[in-house]
Amino acid sequence: MIMTERAQLEQAIAALEAQRALLGDAVVDTALAPLRQQLAVLDAQAGAEQRKQVTVLFADVSGFTAMAERMDAEEVRDTMNALWAGLDAAITTHAGTIDKHIGDTVMALFGAPTAREDDPERAVQAALAMQEALAAFRQERQMTLAMRIGINTGAVLLGQIGTIAEYTAMGDAVNLASRLEHAAPIGGILISHDTYRHIRGIFDVQTMEPIHVKGKAAPVQVYVVRRTKARAFRVPTRGVEGVETRMVGRAAELQQLQDAGVHLQARAVARRDLRERLEAGPQGLPRAGGGLAGGPQRRADRRVHGPDRRALRARRGA
């Protein structure tokens, strides 16, 4: 009998829970996080197909085959599990969903099952975090591993496929992300223009020459992500790029917002005036008859300075 993906996840979760006393809460919780996330995806999307805009990330670890030739199978397994624990955490920390692992490759989705306006930014941040995690792992284990990452944003079909009803994303956007991963430089992050237009101003990127990829008639414009900008600015990307439209059918709501803004501004001015009067002391407070404490004469006195003010006081004393 072929076990479904859900049954496999539930079995794996149960096995890890049984080892909690031996392994400790920290280890078990870290291992359970991606499994529970995948189970939540299955629960949320079971039996339903959806078209959504998502950002797809493919990452491939190079050097894995050469490493495996020098190690026992159990050692390879333990090493890769430790590596993927760190890389998967970089994905899930930035709200990504791990779609699948295929050998030394991982596919992740940003925007499914939950969509966010900054999904492309989260995907690129996750990619940078993955490269940092791999660098730390490489230094710790003294291994010559590297990683290529490809990222693309576009419409996909989310649904279940195959005899075990595996939930995944399908479509041209997925295929292009995979092609970009293969075309990415070793240790680099290659993104499409459809991703770039959502994250420009946030990351330092290098514009590359358009590349030819399988399945595309025209060359594809690509960019290499270097790092996060020290001072990022976000460019609005709502709607269709280059097309500006005005909102219609919300005149009453807009008027309410504008009235609320005027009211809040008036309250802010009143609070500022009161604060200035309090800081000025008793002479700045209003009196019962109106005006400031001390009356017009004291205010006039405050406008007189130096010898003239001393002379004025002398005349009053006389």
Position 297 in a domain: no
Same domain flag for 1 and 139? no
Among 240, 270, 236, 45, which Cα is nearest to 159's?
45
Position 105 in a domain: yes
Among 96, 101, 81, 106, which Cα is nearest to 30's?
81
Of 29-43, 163-177, 298-312, where does mean pLDDT reach its minimum? Answer: 298-312
Q: Is residue 302 predicted with pLDDT exceeding 60?
A: no
Among 311, 318, 308, 313, which Cα is nearest to 298's?
313
State how far the Cα of 54 lies from the Cα of 41, in Å rounded to an integer.
Answer: 15
Same domain flag for 40 and 58? no
Average pLDDT, the chain: 82
Same domain flag for 59 and 88? yes
Which of 170, 199, 228 is a domain's end point? 228
Same domain flag for 40 and 114? no
Number of residues written out for the chain: 318
Position 171 in a domain: yes
Same domain flag for 61 and 160? yes
Same domain flag for 88 and 178? yes
| 3-state DSSP percent of the chain in helix, strand and coil, to 5 | 50, 20, 30
- pLDDT tens digits along 222-269: 999 999 998 877 666 555 555 545 556 677 777 888 888 888 888 888
Same domain flag for 107 and 162? yes
Place of tokens 């223009």: 193
Q: Is residue 311 predicted with pLDDT exceeding 70?
A: no
pLDDT-derived band at 2 (thresholds 50, 70, 90) equals: very low
At residue 251, the 3 state secondary structure works out as helix
Same domain flag for 119 and 63? yes
Position 106 in a domain: yes
Q: Residue 215 gets which letter from DSSP?
A: T
76-104 per-residue burial string, b: 16 or more CB within 10 A, e: under 16: eeebbeebbbbbbbbbeebbbbbbeeeeb
> How are beta strands 203-207 and 222-228 bridged, if at all?
antiparallel
Same domain flag for 208 and 121? yes
Position 125 in a domain: yes
- pLDDT tens digits along 181-200: 999 999 999 999 999 999 99
Position 283 in a domain: no
Domain count, the chain: 2
Position 201 in a domain: yes
Same domain flag for 19 and 129? no
Question: What is the distance of C-alpha 107 from the center of its chain?
Answer: 17
Q: Residue 250 gets which letter from DSSP?
A: -
Position 113 in a domain: yes
Same domain flag for 87 and 125? yes
Domain of residue 40: give its range: 1-46
State how far the Cα of 181 lies from the Cα of 211, in Å rounded to an integer.
Answer: 13
Same domain flag for 31 and 59? no
Q: Domain containing 157 — which CATH number?
A: 3.30.70.1230
